[in-house]
Amino acid sequence: MKPAHIGLAVLVAALWGVNFVVIDIGLDHFPPLLFCALRFLLAALPAIFFVGRPRVAWRWVVGVGLALGVGKFGLLFVGMNAGMPAGLSSLVLQVQSVFTAVIAFAFLRERPGPVRVVGMVVALAGIAVAAVDEGGSGPLGAFALVLVAAAFWGVSNVLTRKASPEAPFAFMVWTSAVPVLPLLALSLLFEGPTRDADALASLDLPGVGAILFVALVTTLFGFSAWSRLLRRYPASTVAPYTLLVPVFGMSSASLFLAEPVSGLQWCAATLLVGGVALTTRAGRPTPTRSAAAPGVHGPPPTTREAAQPLRTSAPRTPSTATRPSPPD
């Protein structure tokens, strides 16, 4: 990668890591579901009027929008509001790579290789260590919500792989519009219209800044910049930079929110990041026999063909380990 593009990859990872601190600040001003709804509303509008509708079936737009917007981010915001630390949240969400691999195996018949399986086991060991630490110092319920959020991220990754949109930025804008109404309805149901109205009536500069950052900086800018890198370089070159997200997340949470980082958390971070690195660097999954096209049993690729980097037109959320999606 060119130095400028390395800098861009590090910048995006830093923004995604700091984003957890901004979410924590935003939760001081808004109920979590309302905050999440406003985030996607601003990410969709007015951009949706200037980008064409992605050329994919509506079921993929709706499916990804619900899994990513309501499932992942809705539960993440609720979990952080319930007491899950920002730094630890940035770390735990990285287990999405394990969920992605498992879901892809179940529904796409993509069999993970032995190195990827080892990486998944190591990453899950990191989650277990983090759970032990959180159980002794914080609410396990909030930890579980963020863990389920990571599972929904895995679901959205697989759905996005099935969709394979040709215009990933437009796909992101249109999927951002999907969760707005469900999140607003859930907010009115569980958080109450009075609480929502009070939050909007007392809107101040930090609250506006938090919404602008999570919607425009980390969602639209971060996603489009990441897509640009994935169009230019192989995913295996770009993907490892996502491992910097929890590093920036935990360090910024410690710096700006004074969140302590225990020895167990550092141990969990080492295991989880190491496991995710293995799953990311292990190469493409092997399709099972049932997933192969019937009647296609051609010879293996030549050396030149094998050396060609895989080119796709959907540089966005990953398949099992080829397309890392934005952590937030």
Distant-in-sequence, close-in-space partners of 159: CB < 8 Å, separation ≥ 6: 60, 63, 64, 67
Task: Check residue 161 and give its pLDDT.
Answer: 82
234's enclosing H/E stretch is: none
φ, ψ of residue 55 to 5 degrees: the values are -85, 65
Spatial distance between the Cα atoms of 144 and 80, rounded to a whole number of angstroms? 11
Spatial distance between the Cα atoms of 198 and 196, rounded to a whole number of angstroms? 5
Asked if 29 contacts 63 with a C-beta cutoff of 8 angstroms, the reply is: no
166 vs 326 pLDDT, higher one: 166
Burial label, 312 (beta-carbon count in 10 A; 0-12, 13-18, 19+): middle
pLDDT of residue 306 exceeding 50: no
CB atoms closer than 10 angstroms to residue 321: 28
What is the DSSP code string of 267-328? HHHHHHHHHHHHHHHT-SPEEPGGGSPTT--PPPPPHHHHHSPP--S--SS-SSSS-PPP--
Asked if 85 contacts 259 with a C-beta cutoff of 8 angstroms, the reply is: yes
| Residue 164 DSSP code | -
Sign for the CA dihedral angle at 18, 20, 26, 28 comes to negative
pLDDT of residue 133 exceeding 80: no
Task: Check residue 34 and give its pLDDT.
Answer: 97
Task: Check residue 118 and give its pLDDT.
Answer: 85
Task: Check residue 185 and give its pLDDT.
Answer: 97
The tens digit of pLDDT for each residue in 182-199 reads 999 999 999 999 999 999
φ, ψ of residue 156 to 5 degrees: the values are -65, -35
Asked if 317 contacts 157 with a C-beta cutoff of 8 angstroms, the reply is: yes
Distant-in-sequence, close-in-space partners of 88: CB < 8 Å, separation ≥ 6: 130, 134, 143, 146, 250, 259, 265
- Work out the pLDDT band at 239, boundaries 50, 70, 90: low
Task: Check residue 117 and give its pLDDT.
Answer: 81
The tens digit of pLDDT for each residue in 10-38 reads 898 899 999 999 999 999 999 999 999 99
Mean pLDDT, the chain, whole residue set: 81
What is the DSSP code string of 109-158? -EEPPHHHHHHHHHHHHHHHHHHHHHHHHS-HHHHHHHHHHHHHHHHHHH
170's enclosing H/E stretch is: helix 168-177
pLDDT of residue 311 exceeding 70: no
pLDDT of residue 327 exceeding 70: no
Spatial distance between the Cα atoms of 31 and 188, rounded to a whole number of angstroms? 10
Q: What angle do CA 207, 211, 213 make, to 5 degrees?
A: 115
Spatial distance between the Cα atoms of 31 and 202, rounded to a whole number of angstroms? 12
Task: Check residue 75 and give its pLDDT.
Answer: 97
Closest CA to 213 of 8, 26, 10: 26
The tens digit of pLDDT for each residue in 63-96 reads 999 999 999 999 999 999 999 999 889 888 888 8
CB atoms closer than 10 angstroms to residue 311: 8
pLDDT of residue 237 exceeding 80: no
Alpha-helix residue ranges (DSSP H) falling in 27-85? 32-44, 58-64, 75-81
User: Is the pTM of the predicted complex or chain greater than 0.75?
Assistant: yes
Express as a percent the part of the chain with pLDDT over 90: 39
Asked if 41 contacts 180 with a C-beta cutoff of 8 angstroms, the reply is: yes
